[in-house]
Structure 1
Amino acid sequence: MSGLEGKRIAITRPKERSQAAVDMVNDLGGIPLIVPTLELEAVASKSLMALYQKAGELDWIIFTSPASLESLFKFCPDFKEKLNPHCKVAAIGPRTGRVLEDYGITVDIVPTDYTAEGLLEEFKHITLKGKKVGIPRTFKARDVLPDGLKERGAIVYLAEAYRSTTPQDTSQVELLVEEVIQGKVDAITFTSPLTVTNFFQLAEDKKEELIKFLINGPTLVVAIGPITQKPLEELGIPSIAPSKYTVKDMLLRLEEEFSNDT
């Protein structure tokens, strides 16, 4: 029997990104609770249009999420045709790489460590001085990647492809906070630092009680990787994470933890 059998598992990632996690929790016998603490809004920003205009000059383009490339192709459907034919492409992880391939774009680099730091490690032995690098993403993302590329001499064009915001309807998150405090949630999953910070921001006056419960209570907290664990650690909340930073590995790590407790 699966370690998730009958367990209520909260999924805090954006609704349009949650289906794979929901299906997997169901397959493992768990009860998925879809409670997005983050919403993604594609935007035809000035910086995105500027990147589109520079497509023919780019030496590299880096995609750090499926949302960034989906937004780019939504507003610039002929981007692939405009792109410098010699431009190389990097994706932060295999899922983003698969979506790129769906658009008919060959991926040159996918790091073994699916983080900005992992991408920078891959570029360690690649000459970047004077190279033009485009990065469509949310402006709320960390600056580790663009700063690291600039330090190596790259000319970086950041483009806002989508906005990450708190949900307009916060009632589901408020209910989740109550249920966590009441011990009705077996585990809560986080797939980015923003899903963490938004959750506690939306807890409002229940925040301190929620933190105390997650430090001392039975609810398991699982993060997709160490970058997502960081804001949890800052709050003193213990969490577990997989060795590979994917949703599948995160849920398998959670199942393993529950199985070890039985």
Structure 2
Amino acid sequence: MSDAPTVAVFRPDDDRLERAVDLLSELGAEPVADPMLAVEPTDATPRTDAEYVIFTSKTGAELVSEAGWEPDGETVCAIGPATADALREEGYAVDIVPEKFTSSGLVAALEREIDGARVEVARSDHGSPVLLEGFEDAGAYVHETVLYRLVRPGGSGESAELAAEVGLDAVCFTSSLTVEHFLEAAAEAGVREAALEGLADAVVGVIGEPTAETAAERGIDVDVVPDEATFDALARETVAATSARKP
């Protein structure tokens, strides 16, 4: 029987999930791949009168490319290196990546230069209000374009049932929506309370403070919030915390 810790991961079922599973395996964990997000594109593109265009995900970068978006002198901003790399892979120049890869980090990077500017936020339908409110507080004219909707895929929920059976050592929540969808799946299976109890015995890792707040609001104690809001950091710190707990 393997001593490897079982770690649930909720990334969308594409190359991100494959890379997450590979990384967790390399770190000595036994991954439980349970995609909690599926992408439904809207085929929208950023509005053309913005001076700044903000992207918050690799998915957004790929979808605007597929939809034929062509920037025209806008300052292109990415919330973090993964989004920036995806934009560059699609042929776009990236002007700004904040030092802290979060919504608040992006607001901090731009707030001194966007007073009176038109700022376009192009992202999913479940984006945090932190960006919009932060840019508005800095004096910008803010518009949001929904590039895609995030839904819970059919068949998800294996991890919730494992948690209910105390079969998970750790989980890696990568957004507030993964927390919500995990609990929805648990409720559908009739094991919500048992799953919450199972998480209380597991190491709960989350990718950033907004996700930590969502988890706490729903009765989940968070153990790991990496300083760097990337899956790599989340996986490494969560597995390390799990290994430290094992006798």
Q: Aligned partners of 2:243 and 2:161: how far apart in 1?
A: 26
Deviation at 1:91, TM superposition (A): 0.4
What residue in structure 1 maps to residue 166 of structure 2? Answer: 183
Q: How does 1:146-225 map to 2 (within 5 A)?
A: 146-167=132-153, 169-170=154-155, 172-173=156-157, 175-204=158-187, 205-215=190-200, 217=201, 219-225=202-208
Q: CA deviation digits over 1:94-122, x for unaligned, max 9?
A: 10011111122222211122111111101
Q: Aligned partners of 1:155 and 1:141: how far apart in 2?
A: 18
Q: Aligned partners of 2:102 and 2:27: how far apart in 1?
A: 27
What residue in structure 2 maps to residue 61 of structure 1? Answer: 53
Q: Aligned partners of 2:52 and 2:203: how far apart in 1?
A: 40
Relative to structure 1, the CA distance from residue 202 to residue 255 in structure 2 (aligned partners, 3 Å threshold; closer, same or farther) is: closer
Calculate the TM-score normalised by the size of structure 2: 0.90
Q: Aligned partners of 2:207 and 2:114: how far apart in 1?
A: 31
Q: Is the 8 A contact 1:63 1:96 kept in 2?
A: yes
Deviation at 1:24, TM superposition (A): 0.5
Name the % identity.
Answer: 28
**2:111 partner SS:** helix
**1:33 partner SS:** strand
Deviation at 1:134, TM superposition (A): 1.7
**2:232 partner SS:** helix
Which structure features the higher share of helix residues? 1
Q: Aligned partners of 1:13 and 1:159: how far apart in 2?
A: 23
Calculate the TM-score normalised by the size of structure 1: 0.85
What residue in structure 1 maps to residue 67 of structure 2? Answer: 75
Larger radius of gyration: 1
Deviation at 1:5, TM superposition (A): 6.1
1:260 to 239, 244, 247: 244
What residue in structure 2 maps to residue 140 of structure 1? Answer: 126
Deviation at 1:148, TM superposition (A): 2.1
The two structures, once aligned, show a CA RMSD in angstroms of 1.8
Q: Aligned partners of 1:176 and 1:237: how far apart in 2?
A: 15
Q: CA deviation digits over 1:207-259, x for unaligned, max 9?
A: 122213322x2x22111122111111113322212111111111110122133
Ranges in structure 1 where 5+ consecutive residues have no aligned partner? none
Ranges in structure 2 where 5+ consecutive residues have no aligned partner? none
